[in-house]
Structure 1
Amino acid sequence: MSPLNKWRTCLLLLMNSLCCRYGIDALSATKRHASLLFLIVLSCSSTAGVNVVGHDTAVLNGQNATLFSQLTETKDNITSIVWQKKTREDPEKKTFFIIRQDGKTEHRNGLGDRVKFIGNIAEKKGSIQLVEMRILDEGIYTCIFNLFPSGPFETNINVTVLVPPVVILTEKAPVAGNLEVTLASCFACNARPAAEVFWRLGALNNSLRTETSHTVHPNGTVTVVSILLGVPVKYLNQRMVQCVAKHNTLTKELDYTISIHYPPETLMIFADSPTEFHCKVDGNPILTYTWSSRENKITPYYEGSKLLIPRLSSDFNGLYICNASNKYGSSSGSLYLHVHIDVQYSNPAQGLIIHQLLYCHVGIGFHLQILMNGSVWGVHKPSEYSILRVFAMRPGVVGICGIKSELYLCTNKEGIARGMKQFSNECLFKEHMEENHYNTYSSLAHPNLYLALSQQGQLRRGKRVARHQACTHFLPGQPLTH
């Protein structure tokens, strides 16, 4: 409303009031009470544009709050400034602070030194500061300016006390199973107002779900918990998710790695060098490894999953067993080591010999085998013809011999592999570990001819394949005992 309209409204109301009180019409009132009307006009003129400016405010629990209040559009004198409050602690409106014309202050109803006058009477500012705000101090605060001759003018200020949440993520480690369980819980504790809590699941959106609940505490704070639920399958182990807590005062993002416990699975033993071997098996939590020997009186020396043979000597011949275990179960595998003392070219399977399988992950997966008639192909389920001796001739060069057939694996210049009684240069293979940890075997006598199996497990010509193809990739492993 414009100042002119305010003036007209004020004058009209006062004149109507006067007419009703004395039973006269407006014209008579104007004639008989000219002096009174003059005062009315003066009063309306002085209050037409008066305004009290105040701003709602929010403050953190325990911090100080500034309540701004200023009088505008008047030249009247301030006789006093009165502050009243209606809070969660006391819903009845009460005066708690008074500022006199001379700047002196008066405390009432308990706040005491927690209230400070930070305004300026001369500048018509009635602002105050409330120290160490509590949740109970939240409410409506009213600032009243008493003017002469205009009278009182006031404004209401809403004060909100915010309490940041304490964000906690509790970990779970369920055992792999088929029933839905809690995988983790994310808490936003004791916040005011309640925080928003949710999960970012990424690619796991269709595998997991969440449930959220609220608990309201007597002091007005709220605890929100969001539970992450899912069936604890091995696929979820070590997958990353994120809990997000949003509040007026903060946003927290907590990364979480899902942990699923399960016993160790199939154990494989790999040769890192002629004198070093390690067993590899998947299990959670962390596995404990032990190596033992049933045919050797010497106690094996090992570090974690790695077996260390001190030197190439027949003293270390025998069967070695690796056992991996956690509190949910165990798994074991074995390898047989044999070091030949007599070295003859006619029997080149000398030095350290490993009884193992060569597995090609093509088609349904095949183990290489050398039959009695010298034919070579793959079989899905290992047979006695799949057990091979892989022996080192020099660094990076090996020979391969069938345990049952006692034939050496050799490749001719056409890239065709066969089992042969007589060992020759065509029976030497360059062994190379690829980036995917599979080995490739290429002929030393005929470069770039690779040992390979087809999708049906048949032998492929070495000249028609390349090292990057899956059909040339073999994973060494030992026959297992459990």
Structure 2
Amino acid sequence: MTHTAVMTIFFVLGVFTKGLTAVIQTQQTVMAAVGEDVHLSCQLMESRDVLQVTWQKLSPEGKKENLAANNRYDGQTVNPGFQGKVEFKDAGLQNCSIVIRKVMEQDEGCYLCLFNTYPDGSLTGRTCLQLYELHEPILQIRESNSTGETVVSCSATGRPAPTVTLNVPQQDLYFSHNSTVNVTNTNGTVTVTTTAVLTGSHGNGAQVGCAARLLSVPEIQVFKTIPGFDDESGSDKNFTLIVTLITAVVVVCVAVVVTVLLRHKHKNRDSEEIL
């Protein structure tokens, strides 16, 4: 997916420091696809004497890890462990933003932007990154051995759990006995499998489709042609097969008998001509 970060929710965060209320505008939540570049920004809405802006990653345990800083005198600095991963986009002291390149699962979490001001001290904004991913659905079609019906199954894997829908373009076909199973994978993704029985008459060329949806991400659709199953029941098919085999055997036997008789006739005729 090449979509930029979506579903960004802005809010104004009030911070109380030494009897003063400073206002920071930042993103409360940013949602992005795995592998995208993500833009995080913080802006002081009131003028302050800012000495340095620091970006930190907040671990689930509450520990803070410095990513990068922009100092009034020393300029921009990215910590060695994040060089090539984190870059400054807007490096102002009142408005500062960073870009996190090709975000992965380990980048998910909350980030802090600290405005170190004089004489008010540190003013902090907070924004959280949530990742999503959606893989192409896998559509399977098979004929039930017991009932002779067509069973359609579609699986899609995503983060969070995607919505999986089966559909048929033909009006004389429909699905019945739908069931859905969710399986959570070790990497945090969820595989959703929807299975249904296809009801109605269909011939060669009929298609079924599967659509996978996730949040505001454009849905992914796949289509597959239904194999040319006959509408006969299993016993009728077996009977037809037996009749076909018997007919073939009879034809072969008749052909062999005719061939033997013709050869015998030609042999007798040759004998008579010699005499």
Same fold flag (TM > 0.5): yes
CA distance in 2, matches of 1:199, 1:119: 46
Summarize the alignment of residues 76-475 of structure 1 with structure 2, pairs less than 5 Å apart. 76-87=48-59, 92-102=63-73, 104-108=75-79, 110-121=81-92, 124-174=94-144, 178=147, 183-189=151-157, 191-200=158-167, 203-205=172-174, 208-229=176-197, 235-238=201-204, 240-248=207-215, 249-259=217-227, 261-262=229-230, 330=244
User: CA distance change for structure 1 residues 179 and 53 in 2, over 3 Å: closer, same or farther?
Assistant: same
2:95 aligned partner, one-letter code: K
2:137 aligned partner, one-letter code: V
**1:480 matched residue in structure 2:** none
CA distance in 2, matches of 1:329, 1:127: 78
2:52 aligned partner, one-letter code: S
* 1:115 Cα offset (Å): 0.8
CA distance in 1, matches of 2:69, 2:176: 60
1:244 aligned partner, one-letter code: A
* 1:157 Cα offset (Å): 0.6
1:67 aligned partner, one-letter code: L
Contiguous gaps of at least 5 residues in structure 2: 1-13, 248-275
2:106 aligned partner, one-letter code: L
2:25 aligned partner, one-letter code: V
CA distance in 1, matches of 2:242, 2:207: 24
Alignment check: 8 A CA contact 1:85 1:93 kept: yes
* 1:216 Cα offset (Å): 1.2
* 1:81 Cα offset (Å): 1.1
- Residue by residue over 1:25-65, the C-alpha shift from the partner in whole angstroms, topping out at 9 and shown as x without a partner, is xxxxxxxxxxxxxxxxxx75xx44x3111113222211211
Runs of 4+ in 1 over 6 A off after TM superposition: none
SS at match of 1:68: strand
* 1:184 Cα offset (Å): 1.9
CA distance in 2, matches of 1:242, 1:328: 36
Normalised by the size of structure 1, how large is the TM-score? 0.41
Alignment check: 8 A CA contact 1:188 1:223 kept: yes
- Structure in which a larger fraction of residues adopt strand: 2
CA distance in 1, matches of 2:49, 2:225: 68
Alignment check: 8 A CA contact 2:56 2:112 kept: yes
* 1:80 Cα offset (Å): 1.1
Alignment check: 8 A CA contact 1:95 1:109 kept: no
User: CA distance change for structure 1 residues 213 and 103 in 2, over 3 Å: closer, same or farther?
Assistant: farther
Alignment check: 8 A CA contact 1:53 1:72 kept: yes
SS at match of 1:188: strand
* 1:236 Cα offset (Å): 4.8
Report which of the two structures shows the higher radius of gyration computed on alpha carbons: 1
CA distance in 1, matches of 2:172, 2:230: 23
SS at match of 2:124: strand
Contiguous gaps of at least 5 residues in structure 1: 1-5, 11-42, 266-282, 284-324, 333-482
Alignment check: 8 A CA contact 2:88 2:97 kept: yes
Alignment check: 8 A CA contact 2:173 2:198 kept: no
- Residue by residue over 1:352-393, the C-alpha shift from the partner in whole angstroms, topping out at 9 and shown as x without a partner, is xxxxxxxxxxxxxxxxxxxxxxxxxxxxxxxxxxxxxxxxxx
**2:265 matched residue in structure 1:** none
SS at match of 1:83: strand
Alignment check: 8 A CA contact 2:137 2:210 kept: no
1:199 aligned partner, one-letter code: L
Match of 2:41 among 68, 82, 89: 68
| Count of aligned pairs | 223
Summarize the alignment of residues 18-97 of structure 1 with structure 2, pairs less than 5 Å apart. 47-48=20-21, 50-55=22-27, 56-74=29-47, 76-87=48-59, 92-97=63-68
SS at match of 1:110: helix
**1:380 matched residue in structure 2:** none
SS at match of 1:208: strand
* 1:97 Cα offset (Å): 2.2
* 1:113 Cα offset (Å): 2.5
SS at match of 1:81: strand
User: CA distance change for structure 1 residues 237 and 211 in 2, over 3 Å: closer, same or farther?
Assistant: farther
SS at match of 1:220: coil
